[in-house]
Each structure stands twice: as C-alpha cells, then as structure tokens.
Amino acid sequence: MKLIIAIVQKEDASRLQRTLVKENIRATKLATTGGFLSQGNTTFLIGIDDEHVKEVLHIIKEDSKAREEYMNPNMVMTGFDMSSQPIKITVGGATCFVLPVEAFKQF
C-alpha cells in the first residue's frame, strides 16, 4: 500500500474530489497553505493499493491545471531583489508525494 499526498490548487480541488468519489478512491481532503505564496491550496491524503497508484496519479494529473500567478516579491522574505515589480510564478498542476505505508488499520 502507498500513501499519496497530493497538493493541488483549491480551484481544482472540487473536481478532483468528485472524480475520486466517482472512481471509488478513498481520500481525505485538507485545507492547506502554500509556504511560499501563503495562498490556500488543498492537500489530499489517498491510501491506495500499489497496483492502483499509477491510475490515481493519472487522475490527479488530469484534474489539475498549472496557472500563472503574479506576486510582489516584497511580500515574502526571499532572495529576490526587493524591487516592487510583480514577478510571474507558475504554480503547478499538482505536487505529489508517494510514500510507502507500513501498516493500515481501521478500528
């Protein structure tokens, strides 16, 4: 079994949730915040058998869109120069981690 942690933009979250339910894939949805942009995003925790990992990643990919955002570098403490010119940032599609699951128990 694997645990897929998928961070998606909140605009894509409802569509992905509907697809997961339709495909009978169990998931937990968390309201999260990106560490860089401080904007709300959504994280799905999906426990899934090894043989279905590819299929779930495909679904996540299909339901997530990359978008361009503009941010003022002054808003975040970064290594950017501190000019007030907004900079363009491409925010993923989806950022996914696939972790091995040592045990899965429900009581």
Site residues (vs ligand 2BA, CB under 6 A): 7, 34-37, 39, 41, 89-92, 95
Closest CA to 10 of 43, 38, 35, 58: 43
Tell me the closest approach of the beta carbon of residue 34 to ligand 2BA, in angstroms: 2
How many CB atoms neighbour CB 60 within 10 A? 23
Contact 25, 46 (CB under 8 A): yes
The residue (of 37 and 98) whose beta carbon lies closer to ligand 2BA is 37
The residue (of 49 and 76) whose beta carbon lies closer to ligand 2BA is 76
As a whole number of angstroms, the distance between CA 32 and CA 37 comes to 12
Tell me the closest approach of the beta carbon of residue 99 to ligand 2BA, in angstroms: 12
Tell me the closest approach of the beta carbon of residue 97 to ligand 2BA, in angstroms: 7
The residue (of 21 and 76) whose beta carbon lies closer to ligand 2BA is 76
- Please, where are the H alpha helices in the chain? 10-22, 53-63
The residue (of 45 and 52) whose beta carbon lies closer to ligand 2BA is 45
Cross-strand partners of 69: 89
